[in-house]
Structure 1
Amino acid sequence: MGLLAATGFVRAFVPVAIALTTTALGTLLPIMRENGILGGVFGRTVFAAGAIGEILPILAISLFLGSEQTWWEALVIASIAALAYVLALVARVLARTRLATVVGENQHATSQLTLRITVVLLVGLLLVTQQFGIEAALGAFFAGMVLRWTTGANPELDEKLDAVGYGIFIPVFFVSSGMALDVVSIVENPLRLLVFLVLLVVVRGVPALLIYRRTLDLRERTALMLLTATALPLLVALAEIGVSSGIMLPENAAALVGAGVLSVAVFPLLATRLAARTPVA
């Protein structure tokens, strides 16, 4: 990364460095589920590594790329986390009241109370984070934490959220990302895309070969390397932040998103082929 910055290839060190540490866990989960590799030691390892590759970059974006000073951003994040914790406590208290019974009785009715409450919680925390200039994905993360703390393992709610997320919002995100992709810039500078794609594997993926050598065999670690190097949603956010703030070259922003698109198209396919040949523990 230092060499790229020194040669003028990269002007915005921080957003590019954050981008190279991300993992598109939300994109990987349905792919792994459909291929039957979400369970066992391998699936748990991917989930843990992918969760780190989502939450830590989100925190880094909020802290180092926010509009305010880092200490203020950290204070806001801590306050939102405290708010999420209070909401979880309130929900647990309400779970022992008549209100919880009413909600439970109507979760399968046309009112779909549990799903509506979930959407209200999500939108509310998104608005709070946006109001303070914090990355919106952090609000979604805290909303998910509140739901897990209060409902625990709830397969019925999970299925409903999967239907809404993977049926509506995620396809819309990919369509909007594709429409915003600067294909002309990528065609004019194809080397940048290839460099960022290789860096995604080297920076985010290769450490998995070493860190999990006592837990997974070489084939599983290679699959894990490819999966953890799969990134797109946060790359789009980082590219938009970098270009709008004037610290990232437009061609680098396009190449980063293009590398993310290519990683989503290629890496999970190769990884699932490798992981499918290994027994699930």
Structure 2
Amino acid sequence: MSTELGRGLTSLFVVALVAALTPVFVGLFGRFRIPQVVVLILGGVVVGPEMLDLADPESIELLANVGLGFLFLLAGYELDLAVFRQRAGKLAVVGWLVTATLAVAVVATLAALGVVRAFVPVALALTTTALGTLLPILRDHNMLRGSFGSYVLAAGAVGEFLPIVAIAIFLGSHGRFIGLISLVAMGVLGLLLSLAPRLGRGGRVARILSEGQHATSQTTLRWTVAMLLLLLVVADNFGLDVVLGAFVAGVVLRRWAPGDGEALDHKLDAIGYGFFIPIFFVSSGMSLDLQSILEAPARLFLLFVLLLVVRGLPTLLVYRSALPWPRRLELTFVVSTALPLLVALSEIGLETGHMLPENAAALVGAGVLSVLVYPAIAVAIDTRLARTRDAVDETRP
């Protein structure tokens, strides 16, 4: 066995062990409502080069990127494009545009003061929402029920999709014009893929796929993974971020998912949340520049607060006619949660030389802190509302 292979297997084992221990740890301290993704990232910090140095993030980089792909595939899969014709989708777009305007003004001020250098990555970071990261938390606490769930999904989807589009245009490796052309090409490819199953509907191939979906051939799952990897490759070759390809794959999958859709949901959750996605989060923790954060913690807390101010507070105004005050407050903390795109933006900023290492570390650290704090507050508000509702129901004759 080569030294490189042995190092990769050792790192993968350590990461898998952290992933396996995480739900046990969360279960033991469940009353503190610690999201699993936070424990995964902190576990990565502990086993990574900054502390125990038990695992090497570079040796599992490919698997981590596939995990990132699965995270955004599942986020795109949750997105029903019809929502953008509804009130929830329209308000989500308006809210994001208000946030983007506010982000430009705030980051321009910080740039003038010399606090940040990477104007575009930091501004985009303040407009993101970690829907893929939030989904397990929202599902576990039954926060997607009723009409409020549609507002949450719409706001979260817009907070992931529009920043991804902006990344493709403004931070693409081949320039803005080529980035825009590449974005259109990705959209056309996604449309063609979504229409492809209709061509073979009712034919022999369709029957083979349907009959093999629960057999050892696992036809639907294999084709789903193949489509995901295809779009990741296309996005990478076009100079786009891989998260765009993954998100498009999720949107396409929702339209053409063949056979037993519910069974496919369970399979995707199993392979994504059971293996690939934890690798991404642990790897993110392993790559975190802890020293830079400790040397300048003020940057982290500034960005942490700005995520709430820039991304969250406009929600209170935009949704004033759609949601009551407690629900708007809950949604404010939900949409202020960000992480995966912050990791991607920090990597892009470092690769282009536009972002200082300490700001990149602070950005990711702020995302970690937002995942730890903001969903917990939203869950507490939701729990209190549920108790109030139950108490009112009990008093009714």
Matched residue type, 2:127: T
Equivalents in 2 of 1:2, 1:81: separation in Å? 31
Partner of residue 9, structure 1: 115
Matched residue type, 2:322: T
| TM superposition score normalised by structure 2 | 0.69
Partner of residue 222, structure 1: 329
| Structure 1 residue 176, shift from structure 2 partner | 0.5
Pairing of 1:195-274 with structure 2 (within 5 A):
195-274=302-381
Query: Which residue of the other structure, out of 56, 60, 72, is the alignment partner of 2:166?
Result: 60
- 1:139-158 deviation digits (Å, cap 9, x = unpaired): 11111122111138922111
Partner of residue 277, structure 1: 384
Q: Is the 8 A contact 1:37 1:276 kept in 2?
A: no
Mean Cα deviation higher: 192-201 or 104-113: 104-113
Partner of residue 292, structure 2: 185
Partner of residue 88, structure 1: 194
Q: Is the 8 A contact 1:87 1:146 kept in 2?
A: yes
Partner of residue 155, structure 2: 49
Equivalents in 1 of 2:145, 2:202: separation in Å? 33
Partner of residue 137, structure 2: 31
- 1:120-177 deviation digits (Å, cap 9, x = unpaired): 0000111011011111111111111221111389221111111111111221111000
Q: Secondary structure of the residue that 2:384 maps to in structure 1?
A: coil
* Percentage of identical aligned residues: 55
Query: Which residue of the other structure, out of 267, 273, 278, is the alignment partner of 1:166?
Result: 273
Equivalents in 1 of 2:313, 2:319: separation in Å? 11
| Structure 1 residue 182, shift from structure 2 partner | 0.7
Equivalents in 1 of 2:109, 2:317: separation in Å? 24
Query: Which residue of the other structure, out of 190, 201, 208, is the alignment partner of 1:102?
Result: 208
- Consecutive unaligned residues of structure 2, counting only runs of 5 or more, are 1-106, 390-397
- 1:181-239 deviation digits (Å, cap 9, x = unpaired): 11111111010000000100011111111111122222111111111010000000100
Partner of residue 70, structure 1: 176
| Structure 1 residue 69, shift from structure 2 partner | 2.4
- 1:79-124 deviation digits (Å, cap 9, x = unpaired): 1211111122121221221211111111111111100000000001
Matched residue type, 2:149: G
- 1:4-54 deviation digits (Å, cap 9, x = unpaired): 111100111100000000111011111111101112121111100000000
Q: Is the 8 A contact 1:23 1:54 kept in 2?
A: yes
Equivalents in 2 of 1:277, 1:157: separation in Å? 34
Q: Is the 8 A contact 1:115 1:157 kept in 2?
A: yes
Query: Which residue of the other structure, out of 66, 79, 82, is the alignment partner of 2:185?
Result: 79
| Structure 1 residue 2, shift from structure 2 partner | 2.1
Equivalents in 2 of 1:214, 1:275: separation in Å? 19
| Structure 1 residue 277, shift from structure 2 partner | 2.7
Equivalents in 1 of 2:178, 2:355: separation in Å? 24
Equivalents in 1 of 2:380, 2:156: separation in Å? 19
Matched residue type, 1:223: E
Pairing of 1:83-162 with structure 2 (within 5 A):
83-151=189-257, 154-162=261-269
Q: Is the 8 A contact 1:114 1:157 kept in 2?
A: yes
- 1:235-274 deviation digits (Å, cap 9, x = unpaired): 0010011011110111110000000001111111110111
Equivalents in 2 of 1:271, 1:183: separation in Å? 28
CA RMSD for the aligned pairs? Answer: 1.4
Equivalents in 1 of 2:174, 2:257: separation in Å? 35
| Structure 1 residue 278, shift from structure 2 partner | 2.6
Aligned residues: 280
Q: Secondary structure of the residue that 1:222 maps to in structure 2?
A: helix
Mean Cα deviation higher: 153-162 or 118-127: 153-162
Partner of residue 78, structure 2: none
- 1:56-93 deviation digits (Å, cap 9, x = unpaired): 11111111011222121111111121111112212122
Matched residue type, 2:239: G
Partner of residue 20, structure 2: none
Equivalents in 1 of 2:286, 2:345: separation in Å? 17
